[in-house]
Amino acid sequence: MKLMQKRSRKKGLSPGTLVHIGEKRTETVTVTLFNYSASHCDEHLIRDVNELRLPVDETVTWVDVGGVHKADVLEAFGKHFSLHPLLLEDIANTDQRPKLDDYETYFFVVMKVLTASDHGDILVEQISFVLGRNYVLSFHENGADLFEPVRSRLRGGKGRLRHNGSDYLVYALIDTVVDQYFEVLEMLGERIESLQERVMADPRPETLKDIHALKRQLLFVRRAVWPLREAINNLSRSECPFLHEPTKVFFRDVYDHVVQIVDTIETLREMVSASLDIYLSSVSYRLNSVMRVLTVITTIFMPLSFIAGIYGMNFEHMPELKWAWGYPMALGIMGLVAAAMLLGFRWKKWL
């Protein structure tokens, strides 16, 4: 969950130069190819990217690339699919903002994959899709493998997936990524609810750190999801010939999900802000209550000590000192004063 990736390595280079920006997760780059139609589904592991051949018929080809840190692999894709150099640069630079670029013969979509780690952290990975007439390329950073369910559906051949074109495949992949966001939000939602209980029951300085950590995570998720709204909206309204009308209904559904996620993020943000308010005012209330009680105790002893002080004076002519009942009387007065003050403070609800 880093704020920014170092871009300084790119300084002064010609645009379109492929420099990987981000953390390298694995050394190797895995390239998997699916070729399918309603009637068949072939699956290959590509070893040499230059061997890649795109069938010319009406079948759909999906090439999934895990690892974007090798310039030569990206360049091979660029040559084979005639991709724009800026597109390749955006794939290699994992510090992109989610977006949709329309390159006329293909669409380019950049998204963030969010995964909730076991420790409550949010891991982020960039995924880029190139959607052509009869192919889909997906490039990710080789972290979490989200697409296994899609692959099973392709292999199984049930459902709509095998009967539709490349646009529906891209929809299925994007939908999988967006569904993952709900999981992250559920995790955050649970943490916020547990935070709210803790803030009421036992506010501590560490709670403040938790509040701000959650705030930052929400900011982070919002940055990943917010620009997606517009990107998917544009996709669902595009006039492109290989985006079929029936698939656009599905993109509108994904759009609805993204809008709902943005909405939920805003609600969670307001809940975290409310927690901060409650935290601050209950910390202050507690501290003040303690001070009040302590000061009440001090205040009660002031007149008592004063009375003791009076009878500790050494005047020769102090008649009370010679009285047989002087001492009990003094103790009695002290007791009365203390009782009166206690009652008074309790009546005023100061104690």
Footprint (CB under 8 A) of its own copies, residues 65-84: 84
Q: How far is the CB of 213 from its own copies (least distance, A)?
A: 10
CA angle 229/233/238 to nearest 5° reads 150
With CA atoms as reference, report the closest residue to 61 among 84, 40, 30, 82: 40
Footprint (CB under 8 A) of its own copies, residues 278-337: 278, 280-285, 287-292, 294-299, 301-306, 308-318, 320-327, 330-331
Question: Whole-angstrom Cα distance, residue 238 to residue 109?
Answer: 13
Strands 99-102 and 135-140: unpaired
12 contacts its own copies (rule: CB under 8 A)? yes
Nearer to its own copies, 123 or 310 (CB): 310
Helix (H) or strand (E) holding 109: strand 107-116
Which residue from 15, 27, 47, 239 is in contact with its own copies, where contact means CB under 8 A?
Answer: 15
Q: How far is the CB of 212 from its own copies (least distance, A)?
A: 5
Question: Whole-angstrom Cα distance, residue 260 to residue 112?
Answer: 17
CB pairs under 8 A, 24+ apart, for 276-285? Answer: 276/208, 276/211, 276/215, 278/196, 278/199, 278/200, 278/203, 279/199, 279/203, 279/207, 279/208, 279/211, 282/199, 282/200, 282/203, 283/203
Footprint (CB under 8 A) of its own copies, residues 223-252: 223, 227, 249-250, 252
* Backbone φ/ψ region at 48: left (φ over 0), alpha (ψ -120 to 50), beta: beta
Footprint (CB under 8 A) of its own copies, residues 125-164: 148-149, 153, 158-161
The region of 14-22, 44-52, 59-67, 130-138 touching its own copies under the rule CB under 8 A is 14-22
DSSP 8-state assignment for residue 13? P
Which residue from 79, 212, 237, 346 is in contact with its own copies, where contact means CB under 8 A?
Answer: 212
The region of 5-13, 48-56, 69-77, 115-123 touching its own copies under the rule CB under 8 A is 5-13
Question: Whole-angstrom Cα distance, residue 83 to residue 103?
Answer: 9
Q: How far is the CB of 264 from its own copies (least distance, A)?
A: 6
Give CA torsion, residues 311, 316, 318, 324, to 10 deg: 80
* Backbone φ/ψ region at 102: left (φ over 0), alpha (ψ -120 to 50), beta: beta
Nearer to its own copies, 86 or 123 (CB): 86
Q: How far is the CB of 133 from its own copies (least distance, A)?
A: 20
Nearer to its own copies, 67 or 147 (CB): 147
Q: How far is the CB of 56 from its own copies (least distance, A)?
A: 27
343 contacts its own copies (rule: CB under 8 A)? no
Residues 260-282: b if buried by 16+ CB within 10 A, e if exposed: ebbebbeebbebbeebbebbeeb
201 contacts its own copies (rule: CB under 8 A)? no
Q: How far is the CB of 239 from its own copies (least distance, A)?
A: 17
Structure tokens at 56: 């010319």
Footprint (CB under 8 A) of its own copies, residues 82-101: 84, 86, 90, 95-97, 99, 101
Q: How far is the CB of 57 from its own copies (least distance, A)?
A: 25
Q: How far is the CB of 283 from its own copies (least distance, A)?
A: 7
What track of x and - describes contact with its own copies for positions 33 through 72 (by CB under 8 A)?
----------------------------------------
